[in-house]
Amino acid sequence: MTGRRTVVLQVLSCVLFLIPITSLAGGATSAAGVTIRADLTHVDSGRGFTGSELLNRMVSRSRARAARLYGRHSHPYGHPATAPAAPGTVGEPSTEYLIHLAIGTPRPQHVALTLDTGSDLVWTQCASCAVCFDQPSQNFDPSASKTIRYVPCSDPICANSTDSLCTITDHSCFYLDSYGDGSITAGRVLRDTFTFKGSVVPEISFGCGLFNKGIFDTNESGIAGFGRGPQSLPSQLKVGRFSHCFTPMLVDKPKNSPVFLGTPDDLTAHATGPVQSTPLKRNPVIPSINYYYLSLEGITVGSTRLPVSASAFAINEEDGSGGTIIDSGTGVTYFPQAVYEQLRKAFVAQVPLPVDAKASETRGFLCFSAADAEKVAVPKLVFHLEGADMDLPRENYMPVLDGKQLMCLIISGTEGNQTIIGNFQQQNMHIVYDVENSKLLFAPAQCDKL
């Protein structure tokens, strides 16, 4: 990383002067008490893929995402390994949902940023980038905004971040962030007005990407960190909680999903079941990891609770590896391999259909063949969390595919001890991150009605 860091710093020293900036403005304005809404689109929405193609692409992205999560802090978190690498897995972007907003004044410039609950930094490509990836819209142009400001080294948003560095010439802040898959983004830290759907918020800090090299989707222009660190969007907006509700992706005309910063108090709106809560945990061994950990205590398939100890889902108290996180950027739910084998065994025993060995090998999931899979009853699947039960609807774990001739369990295993609850299992569920009170609330809901 040292050599790569040196190269990036050399590039930045040459290109930073390309960004015209004005004098520093005051600190970020609080948005406390205000609920901000934005639209999310699935990265493959409107691209014309079949249900099977959507799942195949999601699997590839999930493997890439897991590599980022496992490798980001250089700890032994394991790697997805139940299925052979699918075509396109290597070099696959891990983008899942894009949040749409705009930056700058008087003409706000649209950006589409990956919603990422596994990181903190908010950044987008800038027009003067020396190394860039392709994106459909124009890169953000700082010179076109009258409210753009630089961030000095003394600013808390810079001083308290491990990703931030300082220039020797003008003592302004810039950043260098790398991901587990080898992707890098670096540039100047700026501050400007953000425009959401019906809400305008001044003085939000973000990275203006000048050196962006690696694996990114052509639909994204950067990343919006929703983690627990001071640089994340929820932290800067000073909202105690945020939420999202993912609409189903395996439909003919997928709809936008809502994300709320400062979630409305009435969580029962359009809910189709009870609101439950479970504690949000931190990694006691590696406190710098800002993932959203949960206490998963067990799994039930049908009427059978799997013979798995809660310790299989817990953080290793010696090295900080393992644990259970809920993540917006991973499509597939992953369990440690031993847990997954128990899960697989239970479904094989309880589903009254033959296993389709060829489809299972090709897709990397447990698949069953049937004349009309939609009419076949499947065992329920429940994740037992501390103080709550996440009872998943069938379409969130056993969708029907290939003209109703096939159904597959969209869950996989890893070689290590990490558990990730992916976004496919979170569809049509209002997920609330109550960071202020360290708890996660959730309720089944009609997400397209919110």
For 281-342, where are the E strands, in sequence order? 293-294, 296-301, 304-305, 323-326, 333-336
- Compute φ and ψ for 173, nearest 5 degrees: -90, 140
Q: Sheet of 333-336: strands edge to edge?
A: 293-294, 323-326, 418-421, 333-336, 411-414
| Cα–Cα distance for residue pair 223/226, rounded to 1 Å | 9
Q: Does residue 394 contact residue 378 with C-beta atoms inside 8 Å?
A: yes
**Cα distance between residue 426 and residue 265, in whole Å:** 20
Instruction: Tell me which residues are annotated as active site.
Output: 116, 327
Q: Cα torsion for 230, 236, 237, 240, to the nearest 10°?
A: 10
What are the backbone dihedrals phi and psi of residue 131, each rounded to the nearest 5 degrees, phi first?
-130, 120
3-state secondary structure of 233: helix
Instruction: Provide the strand spans (E) within 32-80.
Output: 36-42
**Cβ pair 359, 367 in contact under 8 A:** yes
Residue 22 and residue 148 in contact, taking contact as beta carbons nearer than 8 Å? yes
